[in-house]
């Protein structure tokens, strides 16, 4: 095989949608039982891992074995790390204020509103954002330098996410830091190391897909663009900073620290 597997990829799109939907509906059932919808944040990373594994199984004999294995491992590692981190962070806590505010706007049945506006929407986003993971597994070209550059960018992103999350967790665990703004370590280079890491992860996976040819690049470029918009202008950075704006010390921190892309902090002067 020397060309992109269009027919199998088209079938895969349907299976990927079904996989993401199954994860989200299962999570919705768990939320109804527990009364807490924040469990959907755990399902976000797990759904990407499920789509990657499903695609790997479906694409056997279609794409380059090395690329299929690489993109599946990278996506699964990222998704499961994120799911475990969020599960640990959420343990013992009630509903997320974001979902409380969203459900307060519901007219009629709150659970059906949550199903539409949280679970089905996130399932659709998983399907859309995972396009590079799906397309990369149907490209027959062997791995080359671009795929390894994408892997390096993915690794940088995972480093910023994992290390940034660990640094923030240690900071919050110290009672002396209660009410203070985290401005140390990676948080001194960017106000959002985890969001910047997410940005790098998905552009890295896109490069792995691009390494297989223009077809994979064309069908999946919408993925990193969508993720970038969500992280910078959508439900990521913008909403979090709106929530943080009233914290003591936030204005000074925001003035000296990059809003997204890492750089050395400006002098307080």
Distance CA 202, CA 189 (A): 20
Task: Give 126's Cβ-side CA count (13 Å radius).
Answer: 32
- Identify the pLDDT of residue 269: 47
Report whether 202 contacts 125 (CB < 8 A).
no
- Identify the pLDDT of residue 2: 60
Distance CA 94, CA 108 (A): 23
Average pLDDT per 10 consecutive residues for the chain, totaling 269 residues: 83 97 97 90 96 96 93 98 93 78 82 91 97 95 96 98 96 90 94 96 97 93 96 83 84 92 80
- Identify the pLDDT of residue 103: 80
Distance CA 128, CA 24 (A): 15
Distance CA 144, CA 171 (A): 41
Report whether 249 contacts 177 (CB < 8 A).
no
Report whether 208 contacts 166 (CB < 8 A).
no
Distance CA 167, CA 186 (A): 8
User: Within 10 Å of residue 225's Cβ, how many Cβ atoms?
Assistant: 14
CA dist list (Å): 206 to 68, 187, 189, 195, 213:
13, 26, 25, 17, 11
Rg, C-alpha atoms of the chain: 20
DSSP 160-185: HHHHHHHHHHHHHHSGGGTT----SG
Distance CA 66, CA 214 (A): 18
Q: Of all helices (H) and strands (E), which one includes residue 243?
A: helix 237-244
- The closest alpha carbon to 163, from 206, 200, 203, 126, belongs to 200
CA dihedral 50, 234, 87, 40 (to 10 degrees): -60
Tell me, rounded to whole angstroms, the distance of Cα 263 from its chain centroid.
22
């Amino acid at each position: 095989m020397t060309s992109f597997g269009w027919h199998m990829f088209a079938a895969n799109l349907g299976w990927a949608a079904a996989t993401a939907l199954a994860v989200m509906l299962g999570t919705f059932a768990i939320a109804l039982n527990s009364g807490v919808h924040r469990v959907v944040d755990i399902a976000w990373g797990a759904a990407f891992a499920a789509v990657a594994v499903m695609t790997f199984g479906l694409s056997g004999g279609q794409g380059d074995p090395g690329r299929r294995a690489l993109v599946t491992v990278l996506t699964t590692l990222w998704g499961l790390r994120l799911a475990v981190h969020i599960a640990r962070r959420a343990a013992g806590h009630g509903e997320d204020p974001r979902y409380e505010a969203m459900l307060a706007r519901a007219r009629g049945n709150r659970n059906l509103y949550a199903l539409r506006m949280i679970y089905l929407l996130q399932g659709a986003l998983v399907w859309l954002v995972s396009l590079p993971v799906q397309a990369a597994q149907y490209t027959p070209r062997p791995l080359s330098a671009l795929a390894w550059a994408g892997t390096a960018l993915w690794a940088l992103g995972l480093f910023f996410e994992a290390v940034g999350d660990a640094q923030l967790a240690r900071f919050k665990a110290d009672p002396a830091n209660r009410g203070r703004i985290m401005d140390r370590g990676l948080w001194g280079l960017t106000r959002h190391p985890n969001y910047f890491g997410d940005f790098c992860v998905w552009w890295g996976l896109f490069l792995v897909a691009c390494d297989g040819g223009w077809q994979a690049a064309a069908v999946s470029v919408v993925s990193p663009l969508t993720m970038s918009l969500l992280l910078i202008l959508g439900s990521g950075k913008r909403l979090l900073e709106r929530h943080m704006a009233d914290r003591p010390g936030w204005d000074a921190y925001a003035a000296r620290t990059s809003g997204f892309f890492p750089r050395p902090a400006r002098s307080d002067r």
